[in-house]
Chain A
């Protein structure tokens, strides 16, 4: 699926450029896209190093286990495949909390750690497990309580009340998260019916 989409975007783009006379822009896009990706990753290094360092201390001190224990009843329902007190649970919870407070930068390293733990649970297979798909669905639907970036942009354009979209964003994000969980469940049952 990803392979197809990837090839489609690139090939359709190039073929379209032939008829649209945008070959120049496409040439530029190849290099600017690659550069943007590397810049993004370099920018991630600082955050990843700092947060994974911090989280290692938290893990060594047993904080993630405590966190996992506290919220087990709720998260257990979302991730039935993850055993109690498993570190994956702690990372999933920390990731969700970081997301809720709009700390996307802190959320990414935690999410990656969560994925790593879930992969171990899945026997190191390179296939996405049920828990991974659920986790991604929740993450892509965003859990933000305060959309800081958007508020900043609204301030930039002299909004009379930059924060008045907080309420609507919250309702929309709750809908999309519930939607994500339901859609994820639906696909899971379809998969398991097929065997």
Chain B
């Protein structure tokens, strides 16, 4: 763990220094290249706005109306039958949809159950081991103008399911139920 945290602390600054030195060595006009690449960044960030606004408004409406809680009420008993703890169900469902909401739920679970409880550790593992599928899809495809997503969403959501099941199994094995 010590080595890993040192690497993550040093990685970015060292990488920046390395790129600049290597670029200079290869006679790249570093500053001009940087500015040219940076201009693209502005364009991309602005072009993603409509995609994210559309997606986040839909998600907020769905959540604020109480529809999400309502549907979860139906899904919950089914999942509990498989031994999935009830407290984790909302998090498992929200994780692929909204990153900020999931982070909020994880904090909430830790506040109520404690970070070192079984539920607390399970929430932490789920939070850390999957990503917000909707966000990744919206941003990546939005930025380059892909309109037909094919099987992407299905594949992403099924992978999330695998991740959540894996998290439950692993945490149960390591920290006990």
Residues of A within 8 A of B (CB): 1-2, 5-6, 9-10, 12-14, 16-17, 20, 22, 25-26, 28-30, 32-34, 36-38, 40-42, 44-45, 47-63, 101-103, 106, 108-109, 111-112, 115-116, 119, 126-128, 132-133, 136-137, 139-142, 144-150, 153-154, 156-169, 171-173, 175-177, 179-180, 183-184, 187-188, 191
Verify A115–B107 contact, CB threshold 8 A: no
A44-B45 contact given A145-B4, A171-B170, A179-B166, CB 8 Å threshold? yes
Q: Chain A contacts of B156 at CB under 8 A?
A: 136-137, 140-141, 180
A157-B19 contact given A101-B8, A176-B160, CB 8 Å threshold? no
A169-B128 contact given A61-B26, A176-B163, CB 8 Å threshold? yes
Verify A41–B52 contact, CB threshold 8 A: yes
Determine the distance from Cα of A26 to Cα of B64 in the docked complex, in whole angstroms: 6
Q: Counting chain A CB atoms within 10 Å of each CB, which of B54, B57, B137, B174 scores highest? A: B57
Looking at B28-36, B76-84, B85-93, the stretch in contact with chain A turns out to be B28-36
Chain B: interface size category = 35 or more
Verify A187–B140 contact, CB threshold 8 A: no
- Chain B, residue nearest A170 (CB): B129
Further contacts, 10 of them, CB under 8 A, given A33-B57, A41-B45 = A6-B58, A13-B62, A17-B61, A17-B65, A34-B53, A36-B100, A41-B46, A142-B131, A145-B8, A179-B158
- Chain B, residue nearest A62 (CB): B26
Of A16, A28, A54, A167, the residue contacting B70 (CB under 8 A) is A16
Verify A50–B61 contact, CB threshold 8 A: no
Determine the distance from Cα of A16 to Cα of B61 in the docked complex, in whole angstroms: 10
Verify A63–B67 contact, CB threshold 8 A: no
Verify A6–B54 contact, CB threshold 8 A: yes
Verify B155–A106 contact, CB threshold 8 A: no
> Which B residues between 4 and 47 are near A, CB-CB below 8 angstroms?
4-5, 7-8, 11-12, 16, 19-20, 22-23, 25-26, 28, 30, 33-42, 44-46
- Chain A, residue nearest B71 (CB): A12
Of B1, B8, B30, B60, the residue contacting A29 (CB under 8 A) is B60
